[in-house]
Amino acid sequence: MPQKIYPRSKDKETVYLKSVISNPNIIIGDYTMYNDFVREPKDFEKNNVLYQYPINRDQLIIGKFCSIACGAKFILNSANHSLSSLSTYPFPIFFEEWNLDVKNITEAWDNKGDIVIGNDVWIGYEAVILAGVTIGDGAVIGARAVVTKDIPPYTIVGGVPAKPIRKRFSQETIDLLLKIKWWNWPEERIRQHIAEIQSGRIINLR
């Protein structure tokens, strides 16, 4: 993939995320783009990936050809407070105040795991994705949805918390798309089949 920042020469509100990320725990696939008409889109790492403290080593993984709308947020584990404790107050974070061992700081929150986004996923305006969630290939996350649970491939979800609205295609088509995995094709092959991909003529992609 070309290592340019802007997919469109006159559009400074849309960036290829892979070209603007420096955090090794944020892994972005080729051609995944982010649009922001409110803030600087190159600051995605600072403004949109929240509570990703290095000590926790949790990851945000986003596949190829994803479309992420303005204001979408990814909230990692350090935003949580431990619910197994008798208090939700994060004592381990304030280890100096309470003479606690700094090595136990991660006990302040429940660790639910990484956020993993598949390929060709569309994440709508100001949607929120919580720690531990996996979103399947081809899924669509509605505007301002709050995703608290895993989303199957090619499923449209919306609401708070996000719930399935419908499947995008028949199960037969979904199974075939997951087998084809067009997003892993060489660039030239994708270029040759853009018309079929856009028109839904999956029979020509077999």
Active-site entry in 39, 73, 81, 168: 81
Task: Indicate if 81 belongs to the active site.
Answer: yes
Asked if 143 and 69 count as a contact pair (C-beta separation under 8 A), the reply is yes
User: What token pair was written down for 200?
Assistant: 């839904």
Q: Are strands 140-141 and 155-158 parallel, antiparallel or unpaired?
A: parallel
Residue 158: beta bridge partners?
A: 163
Residues 6 or more apart in contact with residue 36 via CB below 8 angstroms: 13, 44, 47, 70, 71
What amino acid positions are annotated as catalytic residues? 81
